[in-house]
Amino acid sequence: MQHEEQLDATDQVVGEARRDVVVVGGGASGLAAARAASRRGLAVSVLERGPHAGGNLRTHRDGAWQVEVGPNTLVMKPPLHTLLDELGLLDEAQPANPDARRRYIAFHGRPVALPTHLLKAPANPLIGLRGSWSVLREPFRARPPRDEESLADFVVRRLGRHVLDHLVDPFVSGVYAGDPARLSAQAAMPRLVALEREYGSLVRGGLRRLRQSRREPPALPPEWRGQLVSFPAGLQRLAERLAEDIADRPGASVQCGCEVVAVGREADGWQVDTAAGQRIRTRELVLAVPAPTAAALLASHDAALAAPLEEIAYPPVNAVSVGFRRADIDHPLDGFGMLIPGVERRRTLGALFSSTLFPGRAPSDHVLLTAFLGGRRQPEAAAGDDDAQVAQVAADLRDLLGIRGDPVWQSVSRWPQAIPQYERGHLARIAALDAALEAHPGLSLLGNWRDGIAVGDCLENGRRLGERIAETLGGS
């Protein structure tokens, strides 16, 4: 193919190379985009600053203890099922323990499981008569205001303060480590807003969508519907397999430990300069990096590109993993984990029951918990050395879970810029960014700071971008 001949010729030049596509950032988004483009015969290079492909998809193993440094699970949906099948990973995929369907929320100093059936909601203190009455009244509430709302305002308007404080607030802490008073309802929870817009009610819209889904043919085999999954070796296995699949394609590569220090426009594409002194010329450039990193690379090139990215907040979050003897915890740990609402006045946002979710995460007769400190409302909670972080988590969870004694194992993973916040004005920022991008053909920006923060969203958004680029460049 013509692009392969160009690659061979330019590779003779010391310190320079030419590619069809350069992807800066080897996280889930970047790897998915690169894989889709390389499958269409394009010469693709992924440049990852860290020592391993996968970004925050990393797994740490210490003897019989195994922890996820970043995300802990994947939600099995049709696009993910297809991807795992293509990568030969479907047989390795590990469904979560059925107990993971049970979710606990701290309520007045004790863990309470969410009700498993609507009829049980009035008797459940998390919802109670007050919350149930708010849900029953919801279909009769007014239509939405015309302006963008915070998620807190949206939930209070539709479902009341009790539902916000005891259900939505902890959910937001678990997903975004965010503040519902700052998050945009339209950006952070677009499906909820769509239900109100289309049906005039969350309850009415939810019931109609449920009936529609029951009439549609199942999109997944029964054993995978609604499953949370991982792999025996952890989620890093997915990142490694994506990188291997890319590297197996002719003219494609994944370079780790490769920091990009500058990008620039050329007449027929873009150039990328690395810290090692390499210059790569490319027809298409994809920046699949956190918003602050993309802003720093683009600031001198076009302020209109950098400005919206600079406005996206990234609070610090630490993942604090602690191992205990099973006999030292009274709670059965029979669930996905426990979230802690802000009204409980504790530092810890919540804890996953990691050794319940998947086998092989802790030694025999021991359990592993993964707790989270920091976030948008309490960024200072992420400060302090590892021992201080572990002590804070132990203090917050001790009475809730009936913990006796100290952890027998610990590990702290720090993310100074953890989860991008889809706060009010986020959609306007993304629209301004997309408008500015129109003046820069051949440049694409990608990441969990837009169009969904979940790993599955990143993988699917990356795949779609890679295929669009291949169509633009005429890949096979």
Mean pLDDT of the chain: 92
pLDDT at 475: 65
Residue 367 in domain: no
Residue 65 in domain: no
Share of the chain above pLDDT 90, in %: 81
pLDDT at 7: 34
pLDDT digits (tens, 9 = 90+) for 417-438: 999 999 999 999 999 999 999 9
pLDDT at 223: 84
Same domain? For 174 and 36 the reply is no
Instruction: Output the pTM of the full model.
Output: 0.91
Residue 108 in domain: no
Same domain? For 132 and 278 the reply is no
> pLDDT band for position 120 (50/70/90)?
confident
- Residue ending a domain, among 159, 182, 214, is 214
Q: Looking at residues 261-289, what average pLDDT do you find?
A: 95
Contact at 8 Å (CB) between 126 and 112?
A: yes
Residue 372 in domain: no
Same domain? For 194 and 260 the reply is no
- Residue ending a domain, among 160, 181, 214, is 214
pLDDT at 10: 35
Query: CATH no. for residue 136?
Result: 1.10.3110.10
Residue 445 in domain: yes
Q: Which of 84-88, 172-176, 314-318, 359-363 has the lowest mean pLDDT?
A: 172-176
pLDDT digits (tens, 9 = 90+) for 147-205: 899 999 999 999 999 999 999 999 999 999 999 999 999 999 999 999 998 888 888 88
Query: CATH no. for residue 292?
Result: 3.50.50.60
Q: Which of 78-92, 140-154, 223-237 has the lowest mean pLDDT?
A: 140-154
Same domain? For 127 and 176 the reply is yes
pLDDT at 380: 97
Residue 27 in domain: yes
The boundaries of the domain holding residue 307 are 17-58+77-93+235-313+422-475
pLDDT digits (tens, 9 = 90+) for 288-331: 999 999 999 999 989 999 999 999 999 999 999 999 999 999 99
Number of domains in the chain: 2
Same domain? For 125 and 209 the reply is yes
pLDDT higher at 11 or 189: 189
- Residue ending a domain, among 152, 179, 214, is 214
Same domain? For 203 and 253 the reply is no
Residue 318 in domain: no
pLDDT at 202: 87
pLDDT for 100 beyond 60: yes
Same domain? For 209 and 242 the reply is no
> If DSSP states are collapsed to H, E and C, what string results for the chain?
CHHHHHHHHHCCCCCEEEEEEEEECCCHHHHHHHHHHHHCCCCEEEEECCCCCCCCCCEEEECCEEEECCCCCEECCHHHHHHHHHCCCCCCCEECCHHHHCEEEEECCEEEECCCCHHHHHHCCCCHHHHHHHHHHHHHCCCCCCCCCEHHHHHHHHHCHHHHHHHHHHHHHHHCCCCCCCEEHHHHCHHHHHHHHHHCCHHHHHHHHHHHHHHCCCCCCHHHCCCEEECCCCCHHHHHHHHHHHHCCCCCEEEECCCEEEEEEECCEEEEEECCCCEEEEEEEEECCCHHHHHHHHCCCCHHHHHHHHCCCCCCEEEEEEEEEHHHECCCCCCCEEECCHHHCCCCCEEECHHHHCCCCCCCCEEEEEEEEECCCCHHHHCCCHHHHHHHHHHHHHHHHCECCCCCEEEEEEECCCCCCCECCHHHHHHHHHHHHCCCCCEEECCCCCCCCCHHHHHHHHHHHHHHHHHHHCCC
Same domain? For 186 and 256 the reply is no
Residue 361 in domain: no
